[in-house]
């Protein structure tokens, strides 16, 4: 892995983990000073991130953590919902004993985080929970696509969990999805995970209001 690739991974992780938020400016000079490198590998890392869509380069502002316009963000969540529905359907069909144990353990971890009302802890366990379902699909290519888009949407999924009562609702939706997967009900598993991920109506309006610029982002 090149120096630029390592820097890209570090910056990407900070965006996914919420250290850097949508709308934050990524100054090449400041980043170079922080990492003790020249601006060249920083510039290369930012260009790589721009390709993924996690950041965008704006005239006179330089690189900023991406805040997609409302319609685009809705399309991304719709696509994520369909990908996760496919993962859930295949997981219900192909669930192994190992994946079953991993799934129930991930759900228990979500319950523990939710019981304490810790949004950040729940966010971390939520990511593990969804990743278990991706792997349980036993379709490597589908899993890769799910992981890639999940990372792209990570900053916005984190924001979603801060909405009032969303953490408790999310846990209930997890429990419903797991129930269907363990029962081997492919259609119900897909339906429940799709509904869990897709953002529509009031949930989408709340998400947009939470983004930089608020209602202007819509």
Number of domains in the chain: 2
Last residue of a domain, one of 29, 46, 65: 65
Q: How many Å apart are CA 5 and CA 135, to the nearest integer?
A: 26
Q: Please give the C-alpha separations between residue 76 and each of 3, 62, 194, in angstroms, as whole numbers.
A: 30, 24, 13
Q: 48 and 87, same structural domain?
A: no
Taking only the tens of pLDDT, the chain with its 218 residues reads 688 889 988 998 888 788 888 889 999 999 999 999 999 999 999 998 888 888 988 877 789 998 888 888 889 899 999 999 999 999 999 999 999 999 999 999 999 999 988 888 999 999 999 999 999 999 999 999 999 999 888 888 877 777 777 889 999 999 999 999 999 999 999 999 999 998 755 666 677 666 655 543 43
pTM of structure: 0.79
Sheet with 62-65: strands ordered across: 25-26, 62-65, 55-58
Q: 171 and 111, same structural domain?
A: yes
Q: 121 and 212, same structural domain?
A: yes
**Locus of tokens 């408790």:** 168
Q: In CATH, what number is assigned to the domain containing residue 56?
A: 1.10.10.10
- The residue segments making up the domain with residue 121 are 70-217
Q: 141 and 54, same structural domain?
A: no
């Amino acid at each position: 892995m090149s120096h630029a690739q390592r820097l890209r991974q570090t910056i990407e992780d900070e965006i996914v983990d919420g250290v850097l938020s949508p709308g934050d400016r990524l100054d090449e000079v400041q980043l170079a000073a922080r990492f003790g490198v020249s601006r060249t590998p920083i510039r290369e890392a930012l260009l790589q991130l721009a390709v993924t869509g996690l950041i965008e380069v704006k005239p006179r502002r330089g690189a900023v953590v991406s805040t997609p316009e409302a319609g685009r963000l809705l399309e991304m969540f719709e696509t994520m919902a369909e990908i996760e529905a496919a993962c859930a359907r295949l997981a219900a069909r192909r669930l192994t004993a190992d994946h079953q144990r991993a799934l129930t353990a991930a759900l228990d971890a979500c319950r523990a985080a939710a019981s304490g009302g810790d949004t950040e802890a729940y966010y971390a366990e939520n990511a593990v929970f969804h990743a278990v379902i991706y792997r349980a699909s036993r379709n490597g290519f589908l899993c890769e696509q799910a992981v890639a888009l999940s990372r792209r949407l990570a900053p916005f999924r984190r924001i979603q969990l801060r909405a009032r009562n969303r953490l408790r609702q999310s846990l209930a939706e997890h429990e419903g999805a797991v129930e269907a997967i363990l029962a081997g009900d492919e259609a119900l598993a897909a339906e429940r995970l799709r509904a869990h991920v897709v953002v529509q109506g009031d949930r989408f309006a709340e998400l947009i209001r939470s983004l930089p610029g608020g209602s202007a982002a819509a």
